[in-house]
Chain A
């Protein structure tokens, strides 16, 4: 499965990418929104998206996907816990919201629809 991993914490990004590769997935990494937009190709099947990024919020990527009809499944990972913060994300067609620290088994189980 080709996964776009959008995560600004370089250590977490690198570690999660290694783990997902170990589980047989093809990982494209993006440390910020700009790179995420650049690397969001048609082949991407799943996006693991951190919401708080250095150059903005992950919401704009979600809106872009909705506007362009990109079919990738989106799993949001976030350190925010307030329901108010997350309600607008849910309305943008996110498949699953996972709180950090990420439970790897839960993440792997949610990669497939």
Chain B
């Protein structure tokens, strides 16, 4: 073992310092040197505590590439921290430079090995990014789940009302049959029919809305005459409007249009029905025109108007103005939400301007639904039609 003690002596200076000059500063300014040593050791202990927590946390997860990468970082942290802060005071007391350099060589090798391994941190950051994305998706999923639960609760609540009517009316019909009261029987049958119709409409609405929310909505784009569509819708709503002496008129600067006819019809039908429902005098005007980018259809009425606080709420599911008893024959508060969701499907938007007592203007804007022919005008030329997004094959097909 003599060669080992020889190496040790060479590294440390030996008993008579024959291998190196021992230069240290311990002979003066002892107070500040003591403070330095104390602070160094305090930091080193701090490093140990951090490493301990790190180690405890590390044990709480199962082995994985991320854990391994973090574990390597922990080793670097501990190694560098302890070496640095423990050897500084030792070096001050015992400046065995050769030993220190030998140690520094090991430290340098280890540090560069860890530096190489630090590439593994990308696994950790990838997982962190993934976790963040998942957390955001989870939150969205929770919010959606809550919305669906509320929707189902509202559906359940609103369906119970017409069902309750039907059950009670059938009991009353039974009484009428037993007592031979034909007048009551007729009246009850009429009521049952009305309740069944309201229930059916309600169910249809729920299905339409659920369909919009929870299934893919392919666009069935076609070219059609907007005037035909507006005229048909106005004719359908006119009797209800005229029953209140409300004039319903329409005009359109646009004739042929290319968009999803069914969806546009759904939106306009809901907007018109809503206008008729809340207009008791004056008129309802439907106007269609287009700019270079979109089809714009406005429904302007002289009805009750909407207060500012209700302006956004009218698009919330089941929100109704003027039906606190939630009578399903007065609607169930899904018309405008349905219109907005359908407009969303077309990439469009619905804006409302209104004030209580001053009527309402609802403006539907559908980008991309550019007219192929304006009222009283010839078909737009080929360049315009191509700009409008109509393909050559389509133009050729139309002859």
* A residues with CB within 8 A of B: 8-12, 15-16, 18-19, 22, 31, 52-55, 79-82, 99-104
Q: Which residue of B lies closest to A8 (CB)?
A: B325
In angstroms, Cα B153 to Cα A52, docked, is: 14
B325, A9: Cβ atoms closer than 8 Å? yes
B167, A19: Cβ atoms closer than 8 Å? no
Smallest CB-CB A-B distances: 7 pairs: A54-B324, A79-B160, A8-B325, A101-B167, A101-B164, A15-B168, A100-B160
Beyond A10-B327, A11-B191, A11-B195, is A100–B172 a contact (Cβ under 8 Å)? no
Residue of A11, A53, A54, A99 near B165 (CB, 8 A) is: A11
Beyond A18-B172, A79-B157, A80-B157, is A12–B165 a contact (Cβ under 8 Å)? yes
Beyond A12-B165, A15-B168, A19-B175, is A101–B325 a contact (Cβ under 8 Å)? no
Beyond A11-B191, A11-B195, A15-B191, is A102–B167 a contact (Cβ under 8 Å)? yes
In angstroms, Cα B327 to Cα A31, docked, is: 12
Q: How far is the CB of A62 from chain B (nearest CB, A)?
A: 20
B164, A9: Cβ atoms closer than 8 Å? yes
List B residues 131-165 near A (Cβ within 8 Å): 153, 156-158, 160-161, 163-165
Tell me whether B213 is interfacial, beta carbon within 8 Å. Answer: no
**18 A–B contacts, CB within 8 A, in A order:** A8-B324, A8-B325, A9-B161, A9-B165, A10-B327, A12-B161, A12-B165, A15-B169, A15-B191, A22-B179, A31-B325, A54-B324, A79-B160, A100-B161, A100-B164, A101-B160, A101-B168, A102-B164
A101, B327: Cβ atoms closer than 8 Å? no
Q: Which residue of B lies closest to A99 (CB)?
A: B160
Contacts of A9 in B (CB 8 A): 161, 164-165, 325-327
Contacts of A100 in B (CB 8 A): 160-161, 163-164
Count class of interface residues, chain B: 20 to 34
Residue of A18, A22, A54, A103 near B325 (CB, 8 A) is: A54
Contacts of A80 in B (CB 8 A): 157
Tell me whether B171 is interfacial, beta carbon within 8 Å. Answer: yes
In angstroms, Cα B333 to Cα A4, docked, is: 30
Q: Which residue of A lies closest to B324 (CB)?
A: A54
In angstroms, Cα B171 to Cα A22, docked, is: 11
In angstroms, Cα B325 to Cα A31, docked, is: 9
Q: How far is the CB of B206 from chain A (nearest CB, A)?
A: 15
In angstroms, Cα B162 to Cα A15, docked, is: 12
B325, A10: Cβ atoms closer than 8 Å? yes
Q: Which residue of A lies closest to B169 (CB)?
A: A15
Q: How far is the CB of B179 from chain A (nearest CB, A)?
A: 8
Q: List 13 extra interface pairs beyond A9-B164, A101-B163, CB under 8 A.
A: A9-B165, A11-B165, A15-B172, A15-B191, A54-B324, A54-B325, A79-B156, A79-B164, A100-B160, A100-B161, A102-B168, A104-B167, A104-B168
In angstroms, Cα B326 to Cα A54, docked, is: 8
B175, A12: Cβ atoms closer than 8 Å? no
Tell me whether B166 is interfacial, beta carbon within 8 Å. Answer: yes
In angstroms, Cα B109 to Cα A87, docked, is: 70
Q: How far is the CB of B330 from chain A (nearest CB, A)?
A: 11
Q: How far is the CB of B145 from chain A (nearest CB, A)?
A: 15
In angstroms, Cα B158 to Cα A94, docked, is: 24
Q: How far is the CB of A104 from chain B (nearest CB, A)?
A: 5
Q: How far is the CB of A108 from chain B (nearest CB, A)?
A: 10
List B residues 187-210 near A (Cβ within 8 Å): 188, 191, 195
A15, B165: Cβ atoms closer than 8 Å? yes
In angstroms, Cα B157 to Cα A3, docked, is: 25
In angstroms, Cα B170 to Cα A108, docked, is: 16
Contacts of B167 in A (CB 8 A): 101-104
In angstroms, Cα B39 to Cα A35, docked, is: 81
Q: How far is the CB of B194 from chain A (nearest CB, A)?
A: 8
Contacts of B184 in A (CB 8 A): 18
Contacts of A31 in B (CB 8 A): 325
Q: Which residue of A lies closest to B329 (CB)?
A: A11
Contacts of A54 in B (CB 8 A): 324-325
In angstroms, Cα B172 to Cα A81, docked, is: 26
Q: How far is the CB of B163 from chain A (nearest CB, A)?
A: 4
Q: How far is the CB of B307 from chain A (nearest CB, A)?
A: 17
A79, B172: Cβ atoms closer than 8 Å? no
Q: How far is the CB of B353 from chain A (nearest CB, A)?
A: 28
Contacts of B163 in A (CB 8 A): 100-101
Q: How far is the CB of A6 from chain B (nearest CB, A)?
A: 12
In angstroms, Cα B164 to Cα A81, docked, is: 14
In angstroms, Cα B191 to Cα A10, docked, is: 12
B325, A12: Cβ atoms closer than 8 Å? no
Q: Which residue of B lies closest to A80 (CB)?
A: B157
Contacts of B157 in A (CB 8 A): 52, 79-81
